Amino acid sequence: MSETVTALSGGEDINALARGGRTNILGFVLRLAARLPFLFIAGRAYGPDIVGRYAIAVLVIEVAALLATLGLKRGLAQALADTDRPHAHVVWDAMVVALIASLIASGVLILFPQAMFPNSQVTGLEPLIALVVLCPALSDVALSACAYRHNIGAAVTARAIIEPWTISIAAWAFSYVSARDGLIFAYALSMVAALAASILPFVREYGLPHGWRPRPSSIWWLARANAPLAGADAIEWATRNVDRFILALLFSPAVVGIYYMAQQVASVPQRLKSSFDPILGPVVTKALAEDDRAAVAKQVRQVGFWVTSAQAALAVMFSLPAEGVMGLIGKEFVIGAGALCILLVAEVLASTGAVCETGLVYIARHKNLAVSVCVLLLQIALSFVFVFVARAQGWPEPVQAAGPALALAVSLTIGSAVKAALLYRLTGAPVVSIRPSFFAAIAIASLVGGAFASLPKHYEWAELSIGMPAILVTYLFVIIKFGFGPEDRALFRKMPAAGEATLPTEGKL
């Protein structure tokens, strides 16, 4: 009887992951559709120098907002799972924590605005842009609270529709108002819009906190308990963004702008993984509450395969015609094609570790934090080494600027292997799903892409408009036909009725 219950529970977990996965895939497609117009508008209307200035300002605002959540983006699920208090009171406590921390972070940046604009003069009301820190911090907490109740649609609406389309439209409109600050204005407006789209479903899910009074002791406990999670979030964020800081120290704003555009294209697949965090976190905490670590490994293994497969598809699709993709943004950005290819490969290599971290932050958060810190330090050291070696060899500037991207790929690969091994040891079950069909899909899709790339120069339009879809369709056909088992196909089918057991996953290649 207990085995039957366990099997049903495991099936329900996979169904929850699949349901969230389908929603997130839709959100990912919508985000991609909105992100590409923004890159085109930013590159064509503003140019590399202004994009570089914008990239550093947003970098500082995002890290301040991340720290202001104090780890509640992922820690809120565990706080809700372990409490006897009304959930509405707990989530509003969390909002107060984020609000106070955001105000402190905003105040520091207003006092020291040069942190946001290190390579340019700060004028007018530009220091007040630091107030935007409140928006992503509060939005993250609100959406995490919605995700605890498996409301993933709220995140899709806020982050995949409202935010990217607002910044795309606003960037175009503000380009006629201020060629210098238009991108910053557009970013601020998109963050406000995303916050509004996050608060509305949050209030619908939990309502107003009747009878609630902020508890300083509870708020302090939330902040202290989630400090390792906040550290892990900050380290993960820094790993993906410290390369921009290093480039700002060693190169001109134009180089930073070109690299930022390559990074934005490459980070589209990474957002697919991060969109699984809200649904995977509650499922993992539920399994841990039942002391079922094997279930945690199974959930991580399943989501890891989905994410790695999707990221590999996009890596092949974007890297083979990389020059054409960067050329769409603007002719000045074509030299960033090499960095784009390296960053896309880095995302695939890092995906296993990124998904494993979702389990580690709940099982061994301090060990996970230590590994992340070591990976970040290795990345920083390698970034400087690669750049200085390239300079000593007299290699051209685009090759030098790709050094941080290569350092990212190497360090993330090492970190991914270490985190997967650590989670395997802690759960006693495999956390990585390696299937021959995965490599076959990459190889066959690459052959299709190579055929389009070999076309004469005047057929470059066909490489982008026909070749990229052909690469994606080929890859998906091979991986789904020969690599997906019954649980993988849960992503594409209606959920089974309550009490219906999930089929085993035997027979996958």
Q: What is the pLDDT of residues 299-325, one digit of tens each?
A: 888 888 888 888 899 899 999 899 888
Residue with tokens 């996050």, as numbered in its chain: 198
Confidence (pLDDT) at 338: 92
Query: If we measure between CA atoms, which residue out of 130, 12, 144, 126 comes closest to residue 90?
Result: 144
Inter-residue contact 490 to 14 (CB < 8 Å)? yes
Q: Residue 48 is inside which H or E element, if any?
A: helix 47-68
Confidence (pLDDT) at 159: 85
Mean pLDDT of 234-240: 79
How far apart are the C-alpha atoms of 390 and 250, rounded to whole Å? Answer: 13
Q: Residue 381 is inside which H or E element, if any?
A: helix 365-392
DSSP 418: H
Is it the case that residue 297 has pLDDT exceeding 70?
Answer: yes
- The amino acid sitting at 309 is S
CA dihedral (53, 350, 369, 401) positive or negative: negative
User: What does the pLDDT look like over 68-84, one tens digit per residue?
Assistant: 888 777 778 777 777 77
Q: What is the 3-state secondary structure (H, E, C) of 309-372?
A: HHHHHHHHHHHCCHHHHHHHHCHHHHHHHHHHHHHHHHHHHHHHHHHHHHHHHHHCHHHHHHHH
Query: If we measure between CA atoms, which residue out of 256, 307, 225, 315 comes closest to residue 56?
Result: 256
- The amino acid sitting at 181 is D
Confidence (pLDDT) at 364: 86
How far apart are the C-alpha atoms of 261 and 355, rounded to whole Å? Answer: 25
Confidence (pLDDT) at 296: 86
Is it the case that residue 176 has pLDDT exceeding 80?
Answer: yes
Q: What share of the chain has pLDDT > 70, as a percent?
A: 84
How far apart are the C-alpha atoms of 299 and 286, rounded to whole Å? Answer: 11
Q: Structure tokens of 387?
A: 């750049």
Look up the pTM and report it: 0.78
- CB neighbours (10 Å) of residue 396? 9
Query: If we measure between CA atoms, which residue out of 11, 19, 18 comes closest to residue 488?
Result: 18
Is it the case that residue 204 has pLDDT exceeding 80?
Answer: yes
Q: Residue 306 is inside which H or E element, if any?
A: helix 293-319
- Tell me the pLDDT band of 419, cut-offs 50, 70 and 90: very high
- CB neighbours (10 Å) of residue 323? 18
- Tell me the pLDDT band of 507, cut-offs 50, 70 and 90: very low
- Tell me the pLDDT band of 282, cut-offs 50, 70 and 90: confident
- Tell me the pLDDT band of 343, cut-offs 50, 70 and 90: very high
- Tell me the pLDDT band of 253, cut-offs 50, 70 and 90: confident
Inter-residue contact 170 to 38 (CB < 8 Å)? no
Is it the case that residue 14 has pLDDT exceeding 50?
Answer: yes
How far apart are the C-alpha atoms of 239 and 254, rounded to whole Å? Answer: 22
Contacts with 458 (C-beta within 8 Å, 6 or more apart), sequence order: none
Mean pLDDT of 452-470: 85
How far apart are the C-alpha atoms of 378 and 384, rounded to whole Å? Answer: 10
Is it the case that residue 43 has pLDDT exceeding 60?
Answer: yes
Q: Structure tokens of 478?
A: 């091979």
- Tell me the pLDDT band of 272, cut-offs 50, 70 and 90: low
When comparing pLDDT for 303 and 497, which is higher?
Answer: 303
Q: How many helices (H) and strands (E) does the chain have?
A: 21, 0
- Tell me the pLDDT band of 18, cut-offs 50, 70 and 90: low
197 backbone φψ class: left, alpha, beta (φ>0; ψ -120 to 50):
alpha
Confidence (pLDDT) at 1: 41
Q: Structure tokens of 180?
A: 């210098």
Is it the case that residue 30 has pLDDT exceeding 70?
Answer: no
**Average pLDDT in the chain:** 83
Confidence (pLDDT) at 27: 59
- Tell me the pLDDT band of 496, cut-offs 50, 70 and 90: very low
Q: DSSP string spanning 93-126?
A: HHHHHHHHHHHHHHHHHHH-GGGT-TTS---TTG
**39 in helix, strand or coil?**
helix
